[in-house]
Chains A and B, each alone.
Chain A
Amino acid sequence: QKEVEQNSGPLSVPEGAIASLNCTYSDRGSQSFFWYRQYSGKSPELIMSIYSNGDKEDGRFTAQLNKASQYVSLLIRDSQPSDSATYLCAVVPSGTYKYIFGTGTRLKVLA
């Protein structure tokens, strides 16, 4: 079983719609969760971090965490073509400082 799982996509949404990206993880003791955006040929860029159950909003981005169900999601409102990228979920398992990355979901926002 993979430690962090994401649907590889591509997830296609029309411009202006809400894009919903999901991630599940296996270590129930994990405490820190991150979303990165990676454009083709570029390095991962941190866009959201979340540590507590519930929602965290930052501009058009909302991260949602449910530790009981072991999933974390990212919502992108009013999606723009410039949001087209691969989104990586990262989880920090208990007792460590290292990230475990998912394989990423490729998002395509259609103009």
Chain B
Amino acid sequence: DAGVIQSPRHEVTEMGQEVTLRCKPISGHDYLFWYRQTMMRGLELLIYFNNNVPIDDSGMPEDRFSAKMPNASFSTLKIQPSEPRDSAVYFCASSGTGASYEQYFGPGTRLTVT
């Protein structure tokens, strides 16, 4: 299994630009999670999906952030417009159903907004 795939691995952009982060979950997993990690705030859950439907987006910081999951094998996290305080590492993770709930993380996207 290829694991969770994220792209790009690094993104450097200027304030005000639109940023799109991409994620392909592990095949067969029906939960997908987007996290943000910073030194100050640690690992924060932004939003999660079940069967492509957003279940909890209470962690999305503000309206500049949006996430979609058009099908079982693809999700995007978009920031528009981006700000320097959005600089962080963004992780995507996926898990299957059942009692295990084990989440597996992708390699992350390091975002720098200048």
Where the two chains meet, the residues of A that have a C-beta atom closer than 8 Å to any C-beta of B are 32, 34, 42-46, 49, 51, 88, 90, 92, 96-104
Are A46 and B102 CB-contacts (below 8 A) given A88-B43, A103-B42, A104-B42?
Answer: yes
Q: Is A98's CB under 8 angstroms from B104's CB?
A: no
Residues of B in contact (CB 8 Å), total 21
Those 3 A-B pairs whose CB atoms lie nearest each other, nearest first: A43-B105, A103-B42, A101-B43
Interface residue from B43, B45, B50 paired with A44 (Cβ < 8 Å): B43
Where the two chains meet, the residues of B that have a C-beta atom closer than 8 Å to any C-beta of A are 31, 33, 42-43, 45, 48, 50, 55-56, 91, 95, 99-108
CB distance from A8 to the nearest CB of B (A): 10
CA distance A100 to B105 in the complex (A): 15
Q: Which of B99, B103, B104 has the most CB of A within 10 A?
A: B103
- Write 8 A-B pairs (CB below 8 A) sorted by A numbering: A43-B91, A43-B106, A49-B100, A88-B43, A97-B31, A99-B33, A102-B42, A104-B42
